[in-house]
Amino acid sequence: MKTILVLSAHPDFTETIRASLDPEQYRVVHCLGVDEAEPLLVHVLAAACILDLDLMDVDGIRVIERFRRLDTKTPILAYSAENRSEWEDEAFLQGVTHVLAKPVRGRLLNSLLDRLWSGPAPQPPAPATEPPAPVTPDTPPAPVSLSRPSGSPADGRSVNAAKTLDVLRDFSSILTHSLDAEAMLKQFLQFLREMLSVNRAAIFLNLPDTPPGRTPPPENSRRLHAVSAIGISPGLLEHFELSLDAGIGAQVAKLGRILRRHSDEARMDAGTQKEFELLGTQVAVPIPDRGTIAGVAVFDGRVTGEPLVNVELELIFHLLEQVGLALRNIWLHNQLAANNEMMTDVLRELSSACIVVGRDLKVLHANKAARRHFGRKNQRTGELEFSDLPQALGAKIYQVLKTGVAIGPFRHEPENSPGTIYSISVVPFQRGDSTVPVSALLTADDLTQAEQLQRLEVEAANLRLIKSMADRLAHEIGNAMVPLSTHQQLLGEKFKDKEFRESLDHAMADSVKRVTRLVSQMRFLAREGQMDRELFPVEKLVEEAYQEARKHQPAETTQLKCESGGKPISITGDRAALKHAFAEIMLNALQANPKTPVVGVRLQAGTNSAGGQNVQIEVQDNGAGFTAEAAGKAPSPFFTTRNVGLGLGLTVSQKIIETHRGKLEIIPPQTGQHGIVRVSLPMEPGISTAA
């Protein structure tokens, strides 16, 4: 089979040539230009070249000149759509065999190609008048041409290059035979033995045998292991390896070229000589891998005892360059396959269901959890199919494949399994810059158990809250009932006593206030309905709240200092609820210094972070204030630093203020300062009605 090289910027021209030729007789190779075809031209691997001069990027004569600088022997057939006689003479002078006009005519092309190789056979060479000089280790053999001979061979000891060239052109079939490196190298060595009659050979490689993602140990990265050989005992290679730090491996890595046993570099290194002797070889050839050394190939001479000549070693070197790239591709393929297998194993064992669906709605992957949760296995194929998925999930996957937009987590409750709850996400997989997904990944997490546990935790928390609330309520109501019960027992015998009646009146008033405050707290905590809305001045509300707080914390001297900047500020909301909230805040301020309490209030209108108008109300006491720890816990239910009370005052205040879309902050006091409670409320009329 002969190789026809076609240089054309358009693949349609190459397809026309390929269709015109017999595929069993000719193999057509397409290249865009001379640069891409350089490896074929340098090694004279094409039997003929066809140029498409109309579609070349530069002048046709320049293309022919560059071609001839790389290859002086290969026949050239040039095709042109126009009959341009002005350059035809120059084309023939540059070595073009035929200039043809388009379109391509198959019969004419086949006839011309047949004539290229049907000429008279070359005359046999005349007998040599003198015998050839013997080849010794110190005398390099004369070079031998592997191109088609135009006369007698240059060296009678070389392989008949004219007969083997066509076989060498088929070397690419070895590289594409399989992805098995060992089998490919074995076939390569058999190929060299058939073509060059190599007596013995071995290939040593730096195998990337570490798992993907791990760095190989330093001692292994410098070792070359035997992976294929002919003519050498397997028992020797089993216990023999080369090193990149000493011997043949070090010399080849250092020089980057072919190393002969009797060269100056090898003779000066005892380790190199010993390794050549043990292997019974005469030359070492590096196996390049894109700038690095992937391995070393060692060769003896021919089976006839003659050494390999330079031109043959050059050819072996260039072939090993391609072998090195093929080995790198095999190793990368093995790594990708290992990564894919590892990811498949990971997805298979995930507790979350994972399903990958292609654009053709074919299920590309489904792990064990997906098979367990969604449908049954298909009876015909034994695999999960797209039709087995619930219709709601299938519609979501189809939507993602069409739009390329992911669908965030959403709840899914299968109709055939009441009480089962899934959290579903669908994510598109896109390749490169394409906006069209090639597949979509559906992940499903079974939330049934989690939600049941969460529901049990909420119920347990509610029970603990009820227990704590019942305990606090019983304690607080009990404190209010004690003085009433005491006076009730003495009411019959001391009712006429004026001092007793005054004590009874005080006890009843105090108990009623405590119970009334407790009822108000419970009412505002439980309130969920519509709140009253009215417009009222803030300064007046603060004064009313202060007076309400004084009822629960009487003191001989109390003082309220309110700063409003002289401008009236009004807000819209539930006046009774806000009055209770500020009364609880004021009561905390009064309790901070029970003997001589002073409460300072500062009102200031401003703009919030969202750009709306709000009013800021700061309530400051003259006590020690909250500690940093207490400031964070103060609004929590049942938190109190006193022996009496439920600890719900600031909890109720915070809920009422947040219902009005406001914010309550407790500012821990700095050194030498007092505690501050800051409240921010919106000034616009619309307020939230949700509790």
- Name the most confidently modeled range: 58-72, 200-214, 515-529: 58-72
Contact 58, 35 (CB under 8 A): no
The model's pLDDT over 89-144, given as tens digits with 9 standing for 90+, comes to 777 877 888 888 888 888 888 888 888 877 544 444 444 444 444 444 444 444 44
Regarding whether 464 and 389 lie in a shared domain, the answer is no
How large is the greatest C-alpha to C-alpha distance in the chain, in angstroms? Answer: 162
Q: State the virtual CA torsion across 541, 543, 545, 551 in degrees, nearest 10.
A: -150
668 domain-assigned: yes
- Position 275 scores a pLDDT of 92
Domain count, the chain: 5
The whole domain housing 455 covers 451-522
Give the pair of three-digit tokens for residue 648.
Answer: 């719900």
What is the CATH number for 412? 3.30.450.20
Kindly state whether residue 558 falls inside one of the protein's structural domains: yes
Give the pLDDT mean for 241-269: 90
Mean pLDDT across 425-440? 86
Question: 496, 522, 548: which is the final residue of a domain?
Answer: 522
Q: Are residues 206 and 326 in the same domain?
A: yes
pLDDT for residue 27 = 85
* 483-492, 571-580, 673-682: least confidently modelled range: 483-492
Confidence check: pLDDT of 292 > 70? yes
Q: What confidence tens digit (pLDDT) does each residue in 139-166 have?
A: 444 444 343 333 444 444 344 444 444 5
Q: Which amino acid is at 500?
A: F
- 550 and 645 together in one domain: yes
Judged against a pLDDT cut of 80, whether residue 380 lies above it is answered with no
| Mean pLDDT score, 630-638 | 68
- Using the 3D structure, point to which of 116, 131, 149 is the last residue of a domain: 116
Give the integer Cα–Cα distance in Å for 287 and 289: 7
**Higher confidence at residue 165 or residue 336?**
336
This prediction has a pTM of 0.41
3-class secondary-structure state, position 84: coil
Looking at the DSSP assignment, which residues form a beta bridge with residue 49? 5, 76
Instruction: Check residue 656 and give its pLDDT.
Output: 84
Question: Do residues 478 and 441 both lie within one domain?
Answer: no
Same domain, 380 and 283: no
Q: Are both 513 and 660 inside the same structural domain? A: no
Q: 574 and 518 in one domain?
A: no
* CA end-to-end distance (rounded Å), the chain: 88
Q: Is the dihedral of CA 54, 60, 64, 69 positive or negative?
A: negative
| Residue 144, in any domain of the structure | no
Residue 42 sits in a domain of what CATH number?
3.40.50.2300
690 found inside a domain: no
Lowest mean pLDDT segment, chosen from 287-291, 554-558, 571-575: 554-558
Token pair of 34 as six digits:
């001379």
What does DSSP assign to residue 388? G
- Dihedral sign for Cα 632, 634, 637, 639, please: positive
CATH number of the domain enclosing 279 = 3.30.450.40
Task: Look at residue 134 and tell me if it is in a domain.
Answer: no
* Residue that is last in its domain, among 407, 427, 446: 446
> Is residue 347 situated within a structural domain?
no
Do 198 and 326 lie in one domain? The reply is yes
Q: Which residues contact 233 (CB under 8 A, 6 or more apart)?
A: none
Q: What is the pLDDT of residues 34-43, one digit of tens each?
A: 888 887 787 7
- For residues 611 and 634, what is the distance between their CA atoms, to the nearest angstrom? 30
Is residue 447 pLDDT above 80, yes or no?
A: yes
What is the per-residue pLDDT across 169-201, written as a single tens digit (0 to 9) for each? 556 556 555 677 888 888 888 888 888 889 999
Q: How far apart are CA 201 and CA 675, in angstroms?
A: 91
Which sign, positive or negative, has the C-alpha torsion 276, 281, 285, 289? negative
Task: For the chain, give the mean pLDDT.
Answer: 78
CATH number of the CATH domain containing 555: 3.30.565.10
Same domain, 501 and 359: no
- pLDDT at residue 75 tops 60: yes
Does one domain contain both 37 and 182?
no
**Shared domain check, 559 and 657:** yes
pLDDT at position 426: 93
- Is 421 part of any domain? yes
**Residue-wise pLDDT tens digits, 199-253:** 999 999 987 644 444 555 555 668 888 889 999 988 888 888 898 889 998 999 8
